[in-house]
Amino acid sequence: MGRRPSKPGSIARLRERKKASGRVFYYYDTGGKDRKEIPLGSDYGLAIMEYAKFERDRTATDLGAKVITFRYVAEKYMVDIVPTKGKATQLDNKREMKNLIAFFDDPPAPLETIEPLHVRQYLTWRKAAPVRANREKALLSAIWNYARDKGYTSLANPCAGIKGNKETGRDTYVEDELFKRVHDKADVGLQDAMDLAYLTGQRVTDTRLMDERDVRDGQIWVLQGKTKAKRRIEVTGELKVLIDRIMSRKSEHNVRSTRLIVTEDGTPMTVAMLRRRFDLAREAAGVAKSAFQMRDLRAKAGTDKAESSGDIMQARDQLGHTTVVMTEQYIRNRLGKKVTPTK
């Protein structure tokens, strides 16, 4: 594990000043008769780098390398950048960071000693989880770009040019019969969630968070958590029947929540609740996990939309994809492109 930087007061000519706000700033003490303090900012790592420039000796340079480790910059990234991401991405980044720290901080490594070769070695080290390793490499790349932007390094990103592990995207299409088997074994709250996810074509997380207040002017107003894409889904046909059914059931609850997806007593459905209920229903239906995951309902929705309308643009708009190519790959890899016979 990396050691935190020592107290700057123990470093010659480096001064620490705490302001009334509680924020700490650092200064370089020039010494001599015309002594003055040159401000170095409030970031200790950057202050050390500036201090090294003033000192211009090997000891100061070594000190900078010792402070600006991968862990130091990674922890800064976790504080400055990760909280601005979606909740699911935040959790992913926290898990990914543990593995990056385990490799690049044992022993603690100065940031600028990380080279492309080390990135390739990391992917090999994580060969048991190749897809997750690719996500971790992407996070490492983001951290490096952050370091460049902040001034911790001017070196090129070591992830550039390093090919990730080969990935095979999930290409499962859930047939109606399979959907029904699991749906029939589901409790009423899970049935609502499955139906709402399929009819709206939204991600499981976005579906779970749908609220009564999102239903207005005959539409469900959606702000997708992952892409921030906005959608207004018309409440007509089977979706209207579903919304009416949900509202009718909720009116009988003692516990009142504005969420659309709730338990039998009206409590909002959590991620863990939804996952557990789906796992139980799938098991009761005798369906393998590899054959049906709840996230597959979004792909089924897009596929069925394109098939029934004959217009892939409608599927693209429903799913919130930015390009038709993305939708084509998403759909056709699962069901296969529809073609006509030779004669």
* Confidence check: pLDDT of 3 > 70: no
Q: In whole angstroms, what is the distance from residue 21 CA to residue 39 CA?
A: 17
Look up the domain containing 24 and give its range: 8-67
Nearest to 43 by CA among 189, 146, 166: 146
| Residue 171 domain-assigned (yes or no) | no
* Confidence check: pLDDT of 59 > 60: no
Tell me: do 23 and 99 sit in the same domain: no
Tell me: do 44 and 92 sit in the same domain: no
Tell me: do 57 and 103 sit in the same domain: no
pLDDT tens digit string along 141-184?
Answer: 999 999 999 888 889 999 999 999 888 777 888 999 999 999 99
Burial of 47 from C-beta contacts in 10 A (0-12 / 13-18 / 19+): buried
Joined tokens for residue 94: 């926290």
* Confidence check: pLDDT of 8 > 70: no
- Residue ending a domain, among 135, 150, 165, is 150
Given this model, what pLDDT does residue 1 score? 36
Q: Which residues contact 68 (CB under 8 A, 6 or more apart)?
A: 45, 48, 49, 110, 111, 112, 152, 153
Section 313-331 average pLDDT: 83
pLDDT tens digit string along 254-286?
Answer: 878 999 999 998 999 999 999 999 999 999 999
CATH number for the domain spanning 193: value is 1.10.443.10
How much is the pTM?
0.64
| Residue 105 domain-assigned (yes or no) | yes
Please count the CA atoms within 13 angstroms of the CA of 339 that sit on its side-chain side: 6
Tell me: do 103 and 233 sit in the same domain: no
The share of the chain scoring above pLDDT 90, in percent, equals 53
Nearest to 234 by CA among 314, 304, 307: 314
Tell me: do 212 and 313 sit in the same domain: yes
| Residue 158 domain-assigned (yes or no) | no
Tell me: do 222 and 305 sit in the same domain: yes
Tell me: do 190 and 324 sit in the same domain: yes
Helices assigned H by DSSP within the chain: 44-55, 58-67, 70-80, 87-104, 116-125, 130-150, 176-185, 188-200, 204-208, 237-250, 271-284, 296-309, 312-319, 324-335
Tell me: do 313 and 224 sit in the same domain: yes
Q: Is the dihedral of CA 266, 271, 275, 278 positive or negative?
A: positive
Mean pLDDT of the chain: 86
- Residue ending a domain, among 36, 67, 98, is 67
Section 83-94 average pLDDT: 89
Given this model, what pLDDT does residue 2 score? 37
Tell me: do 139 and 28 sit in the same domain: no
Tell me: do 181 and 287 sit in the same domain: yes
| Residue 161 domain-assigned (yes or no) | no
112: three-class secondary structure by DSSP: helix
| Residue 201 domain-assigned (yes or no) | yes
**What's the structural domain count of the chain?**
3
Tell me: do 57 and 78 sit in the same domain: no
pLDDT tens digit string along 173-216?
Answer: 899 999 999 999 999 999 999 999 999 999 999 999 999 999 99
Tell me: do 126 and 105 sit in the same domain: yes
Q: In whole angstroms, what is the distance from residue 48 CA to residue 27 CA?
A: 10
| Residue 170 domain-assigned (yes or no) | no
